[in-house]
């Protein structure tokens, strides 16, 4: 029988503990599917004495993950430490240079250093795998790299952060404000004590950069992703979206055009008829557009010990079975260096919420500004009147350019009757 695949695991937090349990409980199933069993030989974490609810006594312990990466008796190094630099990066580089395959769940590491790590893996004849880095238990990396390999993918969009999706879902269902729901998400363990990476869109941007590279065969350019978070979304915006047949989601959107690639993460109003509109709570979903397959939709849990450990195990089984290839579908040197298009080039409809003093001529002045920027209105909503007092007016536009919309909003904000800065959300017409 083929020798067991020897595995060293760095990082024994929620996911690392889940992976140890999965490999122990499903040993027979994994051996059947990968053609060989797996044996954990070494582990590393910051605190040796922490009670993790699992027995680690049979495994060699390393205090230094980078040292383990080079010295452990292992065929595969599993990195579950996190962070784009520091020990995670050093350990993965050491493992690849020592001829070990690397499996990681670290989206920040891949988004920032994936190209260099992929080239290093190829140079040393080993595999760099990262299924768990994007969308937790959803096998989106395998789907794009293998299942959709015969297609030219022109666009993808997705809910890539479960924390933000939970917050927006709870705001819609309860009518509560962002801050209240964020505190609840922290209490439930869905959001970190410092939630910035999630609610400001950085986590989703890391994942989008990876998907963009894989789907379009281009170099990863995380720094070129346009990013906005959800802090400014109010219950009023969610209510108005429902009234006009939309829901608000934080989406990562990538599009390949003849001129280059769009990469953007920001709140989006999507029609309630679109499949992604019904993805609620902590779930993730990714929608791709291929020239032969048309639309594919993948949905599932995007985080947690079980889903993420499941994705890590899938990569380990592929390695055990001898399945593998370039990390991004083509050799690192063949990834194209195409331009990333500015968000100013975006064209689409917009939702705009204004708080203005209710007096004659205000809307005439607003529409004059929009007219001068060649922006056409689709709908105007104003509930009731209160002459001389602040009132809310909601506008939706037909398709218009981002630059024109921003110019118009700057002019509107300068009007004396505008009580607070205009608030806008981009809209998409997704139907499938």
Query: What pLDDT is recorded for position 388?
Result: 86
Domain count, the chain: 3
pLDDT band at 1 (very low <50, low <70, confident <90, very high): very low
State which of 86, 113, 133 marks the end of a domain. Answer: 133
Range of the structural domain that residue 247 is part of:
140-301
Residues designated as active site: 207
Share of the chain above pLDDT 90, in %: 87
272 and 149 in a common domain: yes
Query: What pLDDT is recorded for position 225?
Result: 97
350 and 284 in a common domain: no
15 and 96 in a common domain: yes
Distance separating alpha carbons of residues 180 and 186, to the nearest angstrom: 10
| 280 domain residue, yes or no | yes
175 and 94 in a common domain: no
What does the DSSP 8-state code read for residue 12?
A: -
Query: What pLDDT is recorded for position 50?
Result: 85
Q: What is the pLDDT of residues 335-348, one digit of tens each?
A: 999 999 999 999 99
**159-179 core/surface letters (b: 16 or more CB in 10 A; e: else):** bbbbbbbbbbbbbbeeebebe
| 374 domain residue, yes or no | yes
Comparison of pLDDT for 23 and 57, the residue scoring more:
23
Neighbours of 149 (CB within 10 A): 12
Comparison of pLDDT for 383 and 313, the residue scoring more:
313
CB–CB of 329/149 below 8 Å?
Answer: yes
Query: What pLDDT is recorded for position 47?
Result: 83
Query: What pLDDT is recorded for position 305?
Result: 84
263 and 245 in a common domain: yes
CB–CB of 291/165 below 8 Å?
Answer: no
Question: Average per-residue pLDDT in the chain?
Answer: 94
State which of 301, 336, 364 marks the end of a domain. Answer: 301
Tokens representing 285?
């979903």
Residue with tokens 């001068």: 372
| 325 domain residue, yes or no | no
Query: What pLDDT is recorded for position 51?
Result: 78
| 293 domain residue, yes or no | yes
Average pLDDT value for residue range 214-233: 96
- Whether 33 has a pLDDT exceeding 60, the answer reads yes
State which of 248, 267, 301 marks the end of a domain. Answer: 301
Q: Whole-structure pTM over 0.85, yes or no?
A: yes
Query: What pLDDT is recorded for position 342?
Result: 93
218 and 81 in a common domain: no
CB–CB of 45/71 below 8 Å?
Answer: no
| 217 domain residue, yes or no | yes
CB–CB of 88/81 below 8 Å?
Answer: yes
260 and 216 in a common domain: yes
| 377 domain residue, yes or no | yes
254 and 211 in a common domain: yes
Average pLDDT value for residue range 35-40: 93
272 and 197 in a common domain: yes
Neighbours of 402 (CB within 10 A): 18
What CATH number has the domain bearing residue 390?
3.30.70.260
Q: What is the pLDDT of residues 401-421, one digit of tens each?
A: 999 999 999 999 999 999 999
pLDDT band at 262 (very low <50, low <70, confident <90, very high): very high
Query: What pLDDT is recorded for position 49?
Result: 77
Query: What pLDDT is recorded for position 48?
Result: 82
- Whose CA is closest to 211, among 274, 150, 173, 261? 261
- Whether 385 has a pLDDT exceeding 80, the answer reads no
What CATH number has the domain bearing residue 192?
3.30.360.10
pLDDT band at 432 (very low <50, low <70, confident <90, very high): low
- Whether 233 has a pLDDT exceeding 60, the answer reads yes
Q: What is the pLDDT of residues 45-83, one digit of tens each?
A: 988 878 788 889 889 999 999 999 999 999 999 999 999
Average pLDDT value for residue range 272-290: 95
Residue with tokens 């994936």: 114
Beta strands in 217-345 (DSSP E): 226-227, 246-256, 261-271, 283-290, 294-301
283 and 397 in a common domain: no
Neighbours of 194 (CB within 10 A): 9
pLDDT band at 431 (very low <50, low <70, confident <90, very high): low
What CATH number has the domain bearing residue 40?
3.40.50.720
Average pLDDT value for residue range 242-271: 96
CB–CB of 208/160 below 8 Å?
Answer: yes
Q: What is the pLDDT of residues 145-200, one digit of tens each?
A: 999 999 999 999 999 999 999 999 999 999 999 999 999 989 888 888 899 999 99
- Half-sphere exposure for 120 (CA within 13 Å, toward CB): 22
106 and 221 in a common domain: no
175 and 245 in a common domain: yes
| 333 domain residue, yes or no | no
| 306 domain residue, yes or no | no
């Amino acid at each position: 029988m083929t020798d067991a695949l020897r595995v060293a695991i760095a990082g024994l937090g929620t996911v690392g503990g889940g992976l140890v349990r999965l490999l122990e409980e499903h040993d027979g199933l994994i051996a059947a599917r990968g053609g060989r069993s797996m044996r954990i030989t070494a582990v590393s974490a910051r605190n040796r004495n922490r009670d993790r609810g699992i027995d680690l006594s049979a495994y060699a312990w390393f205090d230094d993950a980078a040292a383990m990466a080079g010295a452990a008796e292992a065929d595969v190094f599993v990195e579950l430490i996190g962070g784009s630099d520091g020990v995670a990066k050093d350990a993965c580089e050491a493992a690849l240079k020592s001829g070990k395959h690397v499996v990681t769940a670290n989206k920040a590491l891949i988004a920032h250093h994936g190209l260099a790590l992929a080239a290093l893996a190829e140079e040393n004849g080993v595999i760099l795998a990262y299924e768990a880095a994007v969308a937790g238990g959803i096998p989106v990396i395998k789907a794009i790299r293998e299942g959709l390999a015969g297609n030219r993918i022109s666009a993808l969009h997705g809910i890539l952060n479960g924390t933000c999706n939970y917050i927006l879902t709870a705001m819609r269902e309860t009518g509560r404000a962002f801050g209240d729901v964020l505190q609840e998400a922290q209490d439930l363990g869905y959001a970190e004590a410092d939630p910035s990476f999630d609610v400001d869109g950085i986590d989703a941007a890391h994942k989008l950069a990876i998907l963009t590279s894989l789907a379009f065969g281009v170099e990863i350019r995380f720094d070129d992703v346009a990013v906005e978070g959800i802090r400014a979304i109010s219950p009023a915006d969610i209510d108005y979206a429902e009234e006009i047949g939309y829901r608000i989601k934080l989406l990562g959107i990538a599009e390949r055009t003849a001129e280059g690639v769009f990469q953007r993460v920001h709140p989006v109003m999507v029609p309630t008829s679109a499949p992604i509109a019904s993805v609620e709570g902590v779930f993730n979903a990714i929608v791709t557009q291929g020239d032969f397959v048309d639309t594919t939709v993948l949905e599932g849990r995007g985080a947690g010990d079980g889903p993420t450990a499941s994705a890590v195990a899938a990569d380990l089984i592929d390695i055990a079975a001898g399945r593998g290839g370039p990390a991004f579908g083509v050799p690192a040197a063949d990834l194209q260096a195409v331009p990333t298009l500015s968000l100013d080039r975006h064209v689409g409809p917009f939702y705009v919420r204004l708080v203005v003093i209710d007096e004659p001529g205000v809307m005439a002045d607003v529409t004059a500004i929009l007219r001068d920027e060649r922006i056409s209105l689709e709908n105007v909503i104003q509930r009731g009147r209160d002459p001389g007092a602040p009132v809310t007016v909601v506008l939706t536009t037909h398709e218009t350019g981002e630059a024109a919309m921003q110019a118009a909003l700057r002019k509107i904000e300068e009007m004396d009757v505008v009580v607070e800065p205009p608030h806008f959300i981009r809209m998409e017409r997704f139907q499938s």
